[in-house]
Structure 1
Amino acid sequence: MSRTVLISGAGIAGSTLAYWLGRNGFDVTVVERARAQRSSGNPVDVKGPAVDVAEAMGVMPRLRAAASRVERMSFVDAAGRERSRLRLSAFQGGAGDREIELARADLAAILLDGARDHAEIRWADSISGITQDSDGVDVVFENGAGGRYDYLIGADGLHSNVRRLVFGAEAGFLRHLGMYVATLPVDRAFGDEREVVMFNRPGQAITVHPSKGKAVAAFMFRHDAIPGLGHRDLDGHKRLIAGTFSGPIGIFGDLLDQLKAADDLYFDSVSRVRLPRWSDGRVALLGDAGSCLSLFGDGSTLAIAAAHTLAEELTRTPGRPHTAFAAYEQRHRKLVEPRQRGMRAASALMVPATSAGIVVRNAVTRVIR
């Protein structure tokens, strides 16, 4: 029986799925719009069920070698004086001390390296057309080529091309949660290697994360959805951030200069994706494409866990996509839905909307630290 799979997206979810399906005997192709992996992106966690998956893939030693040593978050004023701090062990999941944090780019690169022996990777291309019948999916690529596959998996992120072509415009599924975030590598950390430093103004936050010798800055700010703001408009993103964070920001001022000079900047809205179902015929969505929990919802952990679950179900019921996709969705929604409900509380902790909210946050974290 032919078991060909096309995965759109070579990120965390797509690479994990490619590894498991390829190892289980599927003929896997991964198509990725980018020309290469990007270097930007916020630090992410490998927690809970994702730890077991990474260990079974044999990549956990590499992940640990790339992991940060961060233990605490310090909330500071514009002069860098600490106002409160929070031990990050308070956010550990079910895997306890086995859990790690590392740069998103490092996690994606290590997972993709694990998938290379099990899948063909096509860079700098994307899908422009999809038609399907009961036996397979016909795909047209932007480079003009075509192909037919038994399954198509959209693991292509918040602004999924596969979701748009099969399920409809993203406006019907994506809900802006009143915040934007940008991250970029910067030349230095502001604390020691075990400390994330955060500066807040009402509705705004700047963090500097030491990562693994490669400091990463994040600009987060509350803002209604901006009509027409493209998620690939680098110059527009820079202008928006510079305007939002104008005015005195003390020791963090040089970060804006680095942002203006950056050629690799991650920028997007903090959003939630909800669909009534994650599959249609022989097409299914994975990771952020189907159930985005951007920034505050353990998205990387859920992407790894989801990929493993989907691979299990496709392997268990070959030739029966409806059965496999339904079982995958039923299992994984149990992990996703509680985290989606907790996103607003997390945003109130990280980016209080008012001066009073900052004072309360600092007071509460002084008590629980």
Structure 2
Amino acid sequence: MTHRSVLIAGAGIAGPALAHWLGRHGTQATLVERAPALREGGQTVDLRGAGRDVARRMGLERTLQDHATREEGVRFVDAANRTEAAFASGAFGGQGPIAELEILRADLSRILYEATHPHAEYLFGDEITQLSDTGKKVDVSFRYGPDRAFDLVVAADGARSRTRDLIFGGTTDIRAVGLTTAYFTIPRRPSDGTWARWHNATGGRTATLRPDNRGTTRASLSYLSPPRGDERLAPDAQKKLLRGLFTGAGWEIPRILAAMDTADDFFLDAVSQVRMPSWSRGRVAVVGDAAYCASPLSGMGTSLALTGSYVLAGELAHHAHHSDAFTRYERILRPYATRAQKLPPGVPRIASPRTRAGIRTLNTVLRAASRPRVAQALNRFLVPPADTFTLPPYGLQR
């Protein structure tokens, strides 16, 4: 594979992970990232199953553990902050709602960048504007940099990938699941403690507070909603919408709304999944959320990104022709991605009840889940299928 030049769009998680494995197989990758530097925003992500195995093979597991948020678990609380149900991080073998290894997305991205930038070329503050697959190369136009040609291009720039859409266009199905969520960081209070807290309010509204390892707290506000384009509103309009939806909801929501106005990492999006009939076309492929976003509700996004990058690089290293590698990559990984995208019945509505009676029922079920027999029955609702994939044993260069 050493003769191939590979351009990767996106320097978040999947892109640098792919660059790492390409480098381990002997190929230098070029990554282009629209942001002027590594993105510091983002919430907590978890590493589970095959994804954690990939991190271990990268030699990064201990580093990731050193930067973990160390949440002790999650508490479901009422308006008076009384605990209705709780799950420690070790529940369900460490694979429950809060995994044993939780890390800020920004920290994971930075760690991957630091592990790859010595052998990968990074182009920050630029983006791909045009792709032309000539059959022998892919001619690439950038918004600011000079045109270049690469043997292969991989879109790893997220569920709303602009690079993917240049090639695959309308064949991509971005499927909203009926939930919209806003994420941002707020000042820490001593009462935030070391547990994540989840509060349900009527009308299908939820709020969460999660302590991080930086002395701040990560907040989210979610609400059930049919697809209507709230994610396309200007940030000020989105905040006005949230204030209208959540004012009077109780708990710590007044504090969250007050801090929202000054948060510099505010982000709102419709929770969606990405479905594609094929993950490659000619000399262009997709990986991570750009190809098979399972949504944050799956608990599988980061693990899928790391696993997909590992498999794609491994197949490129073991096949002389890129089309054979792309075919094998999809054949191996698609069943795993499909399992991740199969959300439990009733999700997200089941976790965001509209009525007080529904909230009481949810809390009763969650309390019962601490019992072994009930926990086994609820396993598919609370434990993502992260460990249902065995990593292929690709031989690696050092």
TM-score, normalised to structure 2, is 0.86
Give the equivalent residue in structure 1 for 2:207. Answer: 206
**Alpha carbons of structure 1 residues 155 and 207: separation in structure 2 relative to 1, 3 Å:** same
Give the equivalent residue in structure 1 for 2:317. Answer: 315
The correspondence of residues 35-46 of structure 1 with structure 2, limited to 5 A, is 35-46=36-47
Shift in Å, 1:338 = 1.2
| Counterpart check, 1:223 vs 2:225 | yes
Q: 2 CA distance for matches of 1:93 and 1:136? A: 45
The correspondence of residues 261-300 of structure 1 with structure 2, limited to 5 A, is 261-297=262-298, 298-300=300-302
Gaps of 5+ in 1: none
Amino acid at match of 2:122: I
**Alpha carbons of structure 1 residues 211 and 263: separation in structure 2 relative to 1, 3 Å:** closer
Give the equivalent residue in structure 1 for 2:308. Answer: 306
Q: Deviations over 1:10-44 (max 9, x none)?
A: 01100100111122221310000011222222211
| Counterpart check, 1:260 vs 2:261 | yes
**Alpha carbons of structure 1 residues 59 and 214: separation in structure 2 relative to 1, 3 Å:** farther
Q: 1 CA distance for matches of 2:41 and 2:352? A: 21
Shift in Å, 1:348 = 4.0
The correspondence of residues 336-351 of structure 1 with structure 2, limited to 5 A, is 336-342=337-343, 345-348=346-349, 350-351=351-352
Q: 2 CA distance for matches of 1:230 and 1:50? A: 31
Q: 1 CA distance for matches of 2:183 and 2:227? A: 19
**Alpha carbons of structure 1 residues 98 and 343: separation in structure 2 relative to 1, 3 Å:** closer
Shift in Å, 1:57 = 1.5
| Counterpart check, 1:115 vs 2:134 | no
**Alpha carbons of structure 1 residues 356 and 330: separation in structure 2 relative to 1, 3 Å:** farther
The correspondence of residues 143-292 of structure 1 with structure 2, limited to 5 A, is 143-169=144-170, 172-188=172-188, 190-193=191-194, 195-202=195-202, 203-212=204-213, 213-227=215-229, 229-230=231-232, 233-292=234-293
**Alpha carbons of structure 1 residues 149 and 338: separation in structure 2 relative to 1, 3 Å:** same
Determine what percentage of the aligned residue pairs are the same residue: 36
**Alpha carbons of structure 1 residues 237 and 118: separation in structure 2 relative to 1, 3 Å:** farther
Q: 2 CA distance for matches of 1:74 and 1:229? A: 28
Give the equivalent residue in structure 1 for 2:364. Answer: 363
SS at match of 2:17: helix
Amino acid at match of 1:168: G
Q: Deviations over 1:221-244 (max 9, x none)?
A: 11111237427x322322222222
List structure 1 segments (4+ residues) > 6 angstroms apart after TM superposition: none
The number of equivalent residue pairs is 364
Q: Deviations over 1:55-86 (max 9, x none)?
A: 22221121001112223211112221222223
Q: Deviations over 1:238-278 (max 9, x none)?
A: 22222221224233311111111122212211101101111
TM-score, normalised to structure 1, is 0.92
Q: Deviations over 1:258-305 (max 9, x none)?
A: 111122212211101101111000100110101111211210111001
Shift in Å, 1:99 = 4.8
Q: 2 CA distance for matches of 1:353 and 1:48? A: 33
Q: 2 CA distance for matches of 1:36 and 1:351? A: 36
Deviates further, 238-247 or 17-26: 238-247
**Alpha carbons of structure 1 residues 304 and 93: separation in structure 2 relative to 1, 3 Å:** farther
Q: 1 CA distance for matches of 2:241 and 2:60? A: 38
The correspondence of residues 97-136 of structure 1 with structure 2, limited to 5 A, is 99-136=100-137
The correspondence of residues 15-26 of structure 1 with structure 2, limited to 5 A, is 15-26=16-27
Q: 1 CA distance for matches of 2:206 and 2:79? A: 11
Asked if structure 1 preserves the Cα contact closer than 8 Å seen for 2:230 and 2:269, the reply is: no
Amino acid at match of 2:342: R
Q: 2 CA distance for matches of 1:79 and 1:94? A: 29
Asked if structure 1 preserves the Cα contact closer than 8 Å seen for 2:231 and 2:269, the reply is: no
SS at match of 1:14: helix
Amino acid at match of 1:180: T
Amino acid at match of 2:248: G
Asked if structure 2 preserves the Cα contact closer than 8 Å seen for 1:152 and 1:284, the reply is: yes
Q: 2 CA distance for matches of 1:168 and 1:10? A: 22
Q: 1 CA distance for matches of 2:218 and 2:241? A: 19
Gaps of 5+ in 2: 371-398
